[in-house]
Chain A
Amino acid sequence: MDFERPDPDALLASIQKEEERRRRGKLKIFFGMAAGVGKTYAMLEEARRLQADGMDIVVGYIETHGRRETERLLEGLEIVPRQQIEYRGAWLEEMDVDGVLARQPELVLVDELAHTNAPGARHGKRYQDVLDLLEAGIDVYTTVNVQHFESRADAVRQITGITVHETVPDTLIDLAEDVELIDLTPEELRKRLFEGKVYTAERVHVAADNFFRVGNLTALRMMALRLTAERVDHQLQDYMELKRIAGPWKSGERLMVAIGPGPFSERLIRWTRRMAYNLEAPWLAVFVETSKPLADEAWAMVNRHLDLARSLGAEVMTVAGDDVPDALLRLAQQRNITQIIIGKPLHKRRIELFTGGSYVDRLIRNSGNIDVYVVTGDETPDARSTVALPALPKIDRHTGWRDYLLAAGIIGLVTLADFFIVPIAGYQLVGLTDLLAVLLVAVYIGRGPALLAAVLSALSWNYLFIDPLFTLQIFLPQDIALLLLYFVIALFTGNLTARLRIREQQARFNAERNLALFTLTHETAGAVDMDAVLTTAVEQVGRVFDAEVAILLPREDGHGVAPHPSSTLVMDEKEEGVAGWVYEYGRVAGRNTGTLPKALARYYPLRTASGIVGVIGIRRRSTERLPFDQESLLETFIGQITLAVERELLDEAAEQAALLRESERLSGVLLNSISHELRTPIASIRGAADSLLHPGTGLDEDAQHQLIRDILDASERLNRLVENLLDMSRLESGRLQPKREWCDIREIIGVAAQRLTTCLAERVLTIDVQPDLPLVKLDFVLIEQVLANLLDNACSYTPPGTHIFIAARERGGFCELSVSNDGPPIPDADLERIFDKVYRVPGPAVTGTGLGLPISRGLVEAHGGTLTAENHHAGGVRFIIRLPMPDEQPAVREAAT
């Protein structure tokens, strides 16, 4: 991976769009098809207007190209002096970023966004300076031409023949708050050119004949218009996504690009990305792995290409198959691909004569209704410089000198055996036994050793068994033919067998890989929550790669990542630091990488379209590097895990949103109910106090007492309401943790009954507790409160003189505590709804907050128990609390007295 030059797309993608944009400065791009359309002019005009409105504006860098109208507009604008940088004896001028930062204007004007800074400046590119300014909260106005956008650079080169070196990432367009297209017709622009308004006189004709040809300008204008139109489209789509207006992929297109180790693949990837972006289609980048071994450098290139595709939003896959077109088409059909993008090979290969045309031809011939785009690869200078020449193919990927020694040994043994065969069957048969040995070597050891075995056996046969013995000479012509034929057959079959073997291994590996992948997908899809997903992921990755695994998710306070408890990899502070780096920068780091290689494990970012959602750390038990196919399997695994994590995050977010809506609705209802409940007692307190203060004439002592009692009752009611509200909020905030200790249920009943003496005095209370009921572990205060609520409820809903019955017994591993009354039944439909907040059974008005039952249920559930209501068959309502019974009873000892 290239660490010195971070991919700007990847960096920028991680910048969260909407939220970030609010804190940052705003970027406005004045955008045109070519130099001279008047971008700088338009920018300055607008700046002057804003300055007149009182905005604090400075000029960071403006290039007037000696144009007089532009220079006039600069008058009256504050200019931050440019920075002088010495480079090879010359003084170059650049924008003084620190100067602008120190000046802290509201808006800075920076011309020519794509400009490359002089060596020695802080950043290589001016757009990086601009990003710094935006980061510091300063608004930036800038100008740029369409040919400078990275994704258009190829097209511009093809149209104009000019290689654009100064490019800016397309993501800058996304980042811009506002893009203003400065449009001129090609004719008008050429007119301006000839009027000397673009370049000085001596350059006009050169420019007019080259870049500024009408054809070029028309094409560039089209591009500029399209880019602007696309932006508008995407703004609409962003908006739709933001507002969760779901929609399927608009075009129904699915793109697939085939890539390889060649430098041209990078262009293919960018080409496909642009196309996918325009079509708003998902895309897939595929590498077909054949049994032909690739050099390490080539693997590295393939990897880099896959990384690039992934960072540009592709799904990345590696498939195995010796027949590339066949493998591509099979995958395309599986994935419902509608368009395949491939590169046109640079050189025709001679072998094509035998295999029926180039693979491109065959792909097109067999593609059916899938469109195939063949993109021309031309060798660009910078492409050539990065070509990694493939090394000579190794003879076999898995053989070492030991295997050759083994092959030689086997031939030695067979030759010994031949001494016994020759007297019986003649020397001709030796060839067949040797051939058997060569085949065995090919099957079990590999191609190289098989070839060695073929050579050795041919030599020994000739030397030891063919006349004249103990020479390498041969007399008889048929012996020469025999030996030659043997040699050819041995080489051919050895080679063939070895290839079969490799393919068979590959098939087996693929089957294993598919099984592993299937298991992972299946298991994570079935996982019920984030913890389950992560536990499964850690387990599967650990098993398949024989590794210790840690998954790290962002901390809730937003600072870095913390390992999930399911992790099997134990991490110290240093390791967590590496993971933190990966999380922050979105790049792989750790063991065997270019970044922080001293770490024990290797860390991969879990990257989604909206940013990094976590980090996975993997420490394999073996120190060997993963072979490429496994490395790519691991990447696929990580992709799967990322998807699962993202899915869970989305689920959680949706759940949160639903919860919020529900709680908003409830708090509305609650507020209504409470304001009623609050006002009533306040009204009676106030009324009673008023009457006492202004007694008038007719207030006798009895009436006065009655009023005072009313005040007391009302305040008692208020107090209960406040208690209920406090309990509710404690329950809902999740701060309520039952303080469990051993309790005697009888004692709880006693306390609750004592609390409600007044109401119980008017009713018949029966308490029936199983005599040997064991102690239960629970929070005394909370359960006592539940019981008191239920008793209070029973009192409120039944007339005086009725029965209330409290029972407690052990049943089926639960302690069952019930409160029954013989009052009117609750309609069956309401038996569950009475536990909803502020729900009340329709009927005669009863004072109360409507919170008692939901609170009680919450409290019981916090103990892992249940609270239900039922209509008693003998009449009346029964509330049943079921609390889990402990398995053992605590030890109790006498005091040492």
Chain B
Amino acid sequence: MSAGPRVLVIDDEAQIRRFLRISLEANGYEVHEVATGQDGINRAAQLRPDLIILDMGLPDIDGLEVLRRLREWTTTPTIILSVRDADIDKVAALDAGADDYLTKPFSLEELMARMRVAQRHTQPALQSHRFKAGNVEVDLSRRHVTRGGEPVKLTPTEYALLRLLIQHAGRVMTHKQILREVWGPEYVEETQYLRVYFATLRQKLEEDPSLPKLILTEPGVGYRLAA
């Protein structure tokens, strides 16, 4: 048995489980699989996995409900797999505490990338106060932002947005989550704030604001900082 990170796959489709087992084991993960939500919750408690891959459409308990029950006692990073591609489902899962969301069919490459991001966030202590992506550098301790070595002047709101995305780099932040964190809980519906401030933030940070490479839009869901 490999000593790599332990992954629990909760999915009722045997073919998907097999494909995940083969590919993940080939990439050094220790894979455990169950087919129902109830088994998933039980195994998660026994196994204490490093990562959970959860399918939304389970035969016994709805995936979203499984996620809620898991979140009652564990913060184990959880990636949702689903055939439901409506943004409302994604937002619901992310707001319920999922770390990421992938719509079936998905590419293995993408799954591995998301898994790495999700795992990274389990060790916040290791996170540095310096962030670098492309030619943009941010020093969180000094509130200092440069692009190609040149200092960039950000308004306090823009900086708050950027800092939030950096703290969750690589992960999707839903509109609600961002609005709650930056503006406060009474502003969670005011998505136009995000449109305006992300537009100016991109103007200041992106090479080509029309084709952003750093601050990515997740349609109907939220934003993600490329990591």
Residues of A in contact with B (beta carbons under 8 Å apart): 715, 719, 723, 739, 741-744, 746-747, 749-751, 753-754, 767, 769, 775, 779-781, 784, 890, 892-897
Contacts and interface: CB of A to CB of B under 8 A. Distances in A.
B182 A895 contact: yes
Given A741-B191, A775-B192, A892-B197, 5 more contacts: A744-B195, A744-B199, A780-B220, A892-B196, A897-B159
B151 interface: no
A746 B209 contact: yes
A746 B199 contact: yes
A681 to B, nearest CB: 13
Contact of A893 (B193, B195, B199, B211): B193
Contact of B156 (A744, A750, A897): A897
A715 B104 CA distance: 12
B102 to A, nearest CB: 13
Interface in B118-132: none
Nearest to B196: A892
A890 B195 CA distance: 11
Interface in B177-227: 182-184, 190-193, 195-199, 209-212, 216-217, 219-220
B160 interface: yes
Nearest to B192: A742
B23 interface: no
**Top 3 A-B residue pairs of the complex, sorted by shortest distance between their CB atoms:** A742-B192, A781-B220, A890-B192
Contact of A746 (B85, B105, B197, B210): B210
Nearest to B156: A897
A753 B216 CA distance: 12
B87 interface: yes
B157 interface: yes
B192 A747 contact: no
B135 interface: no
| Chief secondary structure at chain A's binding surface | mixed
Contacts of B87: 781
B160 A895 contact: yes
Nearest to A719: B105
Contact of B199 (A747, A779, A894): A747
Contacts of B155: 894
Interface in B133-148: none
Contacts of B183: 893, 895-896
B179 to A, nearest CB: 9
Contact of B196 (A750, A753, A775, A779): A775
19 contacts: A719-B105, A741-B192, A742-B192, A744-B195, A744-B199, A746-B210, A750-B210, A750-B211, A751-B217, A751-B219, A754-B211, A769-B210, A775-B195, A779-B220, A890-B190, A892-B197, A894-B155, A895-B156, A895-B157
Contacts of A775: 192, 195-196
In the complex, which range does the number of interface residues on chain B fall in? Answer: 20 to 34
Nearest to B181: A895
Given A750-B212, A767-B210, A780-B219, A894 B195 contact: no
Contacts, number: 70
Interface of B: 85, 87, 105, 155-157, 159-160, 182-184, 190-193, 195-199, 209-212, 216-217, 219-220
Contacts of A739: 220
Contact of B195 (A742, A754, A779, A784): A742
Candidate in B105, B184, B191, B210 with the most chain A CB atoms within 10 angstroms? B210
Contacts of B217: 747, 750-751
Contacts of A896: 183-184
B219 A892 contact: no
Determine which residue in A719, A750, A779 has the highest number of CB atoms from chain B within 10 A of its CB, and name it.
Answer: A750
Given A744-B195, A897-B160, A781 B219 contact: yes
Nearest to A752: B219
Contacts of B190: 890
Contacts of A741: 191-192
A780 B217 CA distance: 10
Nearest to A742: B192
Nearest to A726: B85
Nearest to A760: B211
A892 B85 CA distance: 30
Residue from B159, B160, B183, B219 having most chain A Cβ neighbours under 10 A: B219
A755 to B, nearest CB: 9
Nearest to A894: B157
Contacts of B220: 739, 779-781
B198 A747 contact: yes
A743 B195 contact: yes
A726 to B, nearest CB: 9
A897 B187 CA distance: 14
B191 A742 contact: yes
Contacts of B216: 754
A766 to B, nearest CB: 10
A23 B196 CA distance: 64
Contacts of A780: 219-220
B211 A753 contact: yes
A718 to B, nearest CB: 9
Contacts of A751: 217, 219
Contacts of B209: 746
A662 to B, nearest CB: 29
A165 B156 CA distance: 98
Nearest to A777: B192
A781 B220 CA distance: 6
A751 B210 CA distance: 9
A455 to B, nearest CB: 84
A779 B88 CA distance: 12
Contacts of A779: 220
A780 B105 CA distance: 22
Nearest to A768: B210
Contact of A892 (B160, B182, B193, B211): B193
Of A719, A747, A775, chain B has the most CB atoms within 10 Å of the CB of A747
B121 to A, nearest CB: 23
A114 to B, nearest CB: 65
A749 B184 CA distance: 29
A744 B195 CA distance: 6
Contact of B210 (A715, A742, A749, A781): A749
A631 B145 CA distance: 83
A754 B213 CA distance: 9
Nearest to A712: B107
B158 to A, nearest CB: 9
B83 to A, nearest CB: 10
Nearest to B161: A895
Nearest to B189: A741
B116 to A, nearest CB: 21
Nearest to B87: A781
A767 B206 CA distance: 15
Contacts of A749: 210
A712 to B, nearest CB: 8
Contact of B157 (A723, A750, A897): A897
Contacts of A784: 219
Contacts of A719: 105
B205 to A, nearest CB: 14
A682 to B, nearest CB: 15
A3 to B, nearest CB: 55
A259 B156 CA distance: 89
A761 to B, nearest CB: 12
Nearest to A715: B105
A720 B114 CA distance: 23
Contacts of A750: 210-212, 217
A767 B212 CA distance: 13
A895 B154 CA distance: 13
Given A753-B211, A767-B210, A895-B156, A747 B195 contact: yes
Nearest to A779: B220
Contacts of A747: 195, 198-199, 217
Contacts of A893: 183, 193
Contacts of A744: 195-196, 198-199
B187 to A, nearest CB: 8
Contacts of B182: 895, 897
